[in-house]
Amino acid sequence: MTTTLPLLLASASPRRRQLLSLLGLPYTMGVSPIDEEAVQERYNGPITGLAQWLAEHKALGTLTLAEADNHLVITADTTVLLYGEALGKPRDKAHARELLLALRGCWHHVVTGVAVSRSSDGKPEIYSASCATPVLMRPYSEEEIAAYIATGDPLDKAGAYGIQHPEFQLTERINGCYLNVVGLP
Q: In DSSP terms, which residues pair with 131 in a beta bridge?
A: 112
pLDDT at 27: 93
Three-state SS for 38-73 is HHHHHCCCCHHHHHHHHHHHHHHHHCCCHHHCCCEE
Mean pLDDT by 10 residues, the chain (185 residues): 82 90 91 92 96 97 92 96 95 98 98 96 94 98 97 94 91 96 94
In degrees, to the nearest 5, what angle opens at C-alpha 103 toward C-alphas 98 and 104?
100
Dihedral of the CA atoms 149, 153, 156, 162 (nearest 10)? Answer: -110
What residues does each domain of the chain span? Answer: 7-182
Domain 7-182 in CATH 3.40.50.1970: no
pLDDT at 33: 94
Report how far residue 56's alpha carbon sits from residue 141's, in angstroms, rounded to the nearest whole number.
38
Active site residues: 77
In degrees, to the nearest 5, what angle opens at C-alpha 183 toward C-alphas 26 and 46?
130
